[in-house]
Amino acid sequence: MFIAAAQARRSILRNFRTIGYRPNAAAWRALKMGIKRDLQAQSLRPNIPIPRRREVLRYLSTLYRETGSIRSSLISLCHDGAWTSSGGSFRLAEEIGVDLFDEADRVFSRQGRLCYLEIGGGWAGLKTPAGTHARDIAGLGRHFERDLGRRVLLHFTNLTQWHTDLPNGIVEHPFVTAAGLSVVERQGVPQGSVDIIYSQAAAYFEADLHFFIKSAAALLSPEGLLIFNHPESRVELVSKCAKSNGLTARRHRHLAGMNGIVVAFEKEPPKAEKILNQRGQKTSAQLESMPA
């Protein structure tokens, strides 16, 4: 794990140099812990509840069952951060009443194409049995199976590389952080092309949230949707950054514990388009008010 963590750090730093981003000490410290969590989670099956480490016997029993190694289970007690299992999930979006399948259908029916990007997708549901009705990227891929790779593209990032073989149309971007999101532009995702950007938890741990919001806003298409969660202490920062990058708050909800506050922002359309839409709405209202 230590070698893999060092390799991941080097790859992430290369991506940072590509976009001219330099994390501060706090951001880099948090990132190194995130890499450990990523590598730990790869040792586990998707969506496995991990007991807290202070419940030593339950914790060790679960880790031994998952890893098959007493040594790895004991060593994990000394690692920074709790072991977590990843599976990819749309649960946070659903907590604020957003059904990402419905949102994706709406976009696809309106413009005949869809581009989705998830930050920190982990296994992205791609380890779960194909027959299950998964509320994740894998489920979204099956939902748009006929158009996947042609008119539907699904992208997701991870701090480390989780996958070596993916279906056509589903693309993993390894060694990409939330703050360093703009590097995906150099990997085939143009600015203004993404319809939905979603983070289940990755943005929550991002120390440089303003870089994440700026990069996400640049990638979003007009009226595109950005959903993520953040600590309650960063409400003012998030609101300020969103406003300065043309994002309008649509929904939010304060959840307990480490889920923090879940927010949904919409990318404002260009001013000219906005004016035309307003004129069109005004004309429609005038026509409707006219006597028959």
Note down pLDDT in tens along the chain; length 292 residues.
789 999 999 999 999 999 999 999 989 998 998 898 888 888 787 777 788 778 889 888 988 888 888 887 887 777 655 556 566 689 899 999 999 999 999 999 999 999 999 999 988 888 766 666 778 999 999 999 999 999 999 999 999 999 999 999 999 999 999 999 999 999 999 999 999 999 988 888 899 999 999 999 999 999 999 999 999 999 999 999 999 999 999 999 998 777 899 999 999 987 755 545 555 554 455 545 545 4
Q: What is the pTM of this model?
A: 0.86
Q: What is the pLDDT of residue 258?
A: 74
What is the distance between the alpha carbons of residues 282 and 291, in angstroms, rounded to a whole number? Answer: 16
User: What string of H, E and C letters represents the secondary structure of the chain?
Assistant: CHHHHHHHHHHHHHHHHHHCCCCCHHHHHHHHHHHHHHHHHCCCCCCCCCCCCCCHHHHHHHHHHHHCCHHHHHHHCCCCCCCCCCCCCCHHHHHCCCCHHHHHHHHHHHHCCEEEEEECCCCCCCCCCCCCCCCCHHHHHHHCCCCECCCEEEEEEECCCCCCCCCCCEEEEECCCCCCHHHHHHHCCCCCCEEEEEECCHHHHCCCHHHHHHHHHHHEEEEEEEEEEECHHHHHHHHHHHHHCCEEEEEEEECCHHHCEEEEEEECCCHHHHHHHHHHHHHHHHHHHCCC
What is the distance between the alpha carbons of residues 166 and 163, in angstroms, rounded to a whole number? Answer: 7
- Going along the chain from its start, the domains and CATH numbers come out as 2-76 (no CATH), 91-270 (3.40.50.150)
The strand pairing partners of 263, in sequence order, are 228, 252
